[in-house]
Amino acid sequence: MQFIRDQLFDATNEEVCSVDSTERELDPGVILRRRTAFRFGLGALTTLLCMSPMNVLGQEVAGESEKLNDEAIELETLIARLRPEARRMISSDVPDEEVYIKRAIEELTKLTELETNRFGPPGSPIQSDYQAWVFPVSLYQFRMEPNSVIHIHDHRDVNGAISVREGSARIRSFDIFEEEGEKRWDVLAGKLPEKGEEFLIQEKGDVVLKERQGVGLTRTRDNFHQVEAGPDGCLLYDLFTYFKLSAAGSHRVAWDGKHFDPNRKLCKVTWFSPDHEKQESKQSEEDNG
Q: Is 55 in the site for Fe ion (CB under 5 A)?
A: yes
Provide DSSP, 38-98.
Answer: EE-TTSS-B--EEESS-----SSPBPPPS-HHHH-B-HHHHHHHHHHHHHHHHH-SS--HH
Q: Is 173 in the site for Fe ion (CB under 5 A)?
A: no
Identify residue 25 by its one-letter amino acid code: E
Question: Closest distance between Fe ion and the C-beta of residue 27, in Å?
Answer: 12
Residue 155: C-alpha distances to residues 114, 162, 244 (Å):
24, 13, 12
3-state helix vs strand vs coil in the chain, percent to 5:
15, 40, 40
Question: Closest distance between Fe ion and the C-beta of residue 179, in Å?
Answer: 26
For residues 227-266, which are near Fe ion according to CB under 5 A? Answer: none
Return the beta strands (E) in 135-198 as ranges.
Answer: 137-144, 149-153, 158-176
Return the number of the residue (39 or 141) whose C-beta is nearest Fe ion.
141
Instruction: Candidates 46-54, 75-83, 193-201, 280-288: pick the segment binding Fe ion (CB under 5 A).
Output: 46-54
**Which residue minimizes CB distance to Fe ion?**
55
Q: Is 54 in the site for Fe ion (CB under 5 A)?
A: yes
Return the number of the residue (39 or 238) whose C-beta is nearest Fe ion.
238
Binding-site string for Fe ion from residue 138 to residue 167, where x marks contact by CB under 5 A and - marks none: ------------------------------
Q: Is 223 in the site for Fe ion (CB under 5 A)?
A: no
Q: How far apart are CA 237 and CA 233, in angstroms?
A: 14
Residues interacting with Fe ion, by CB under 5 A? 53-55
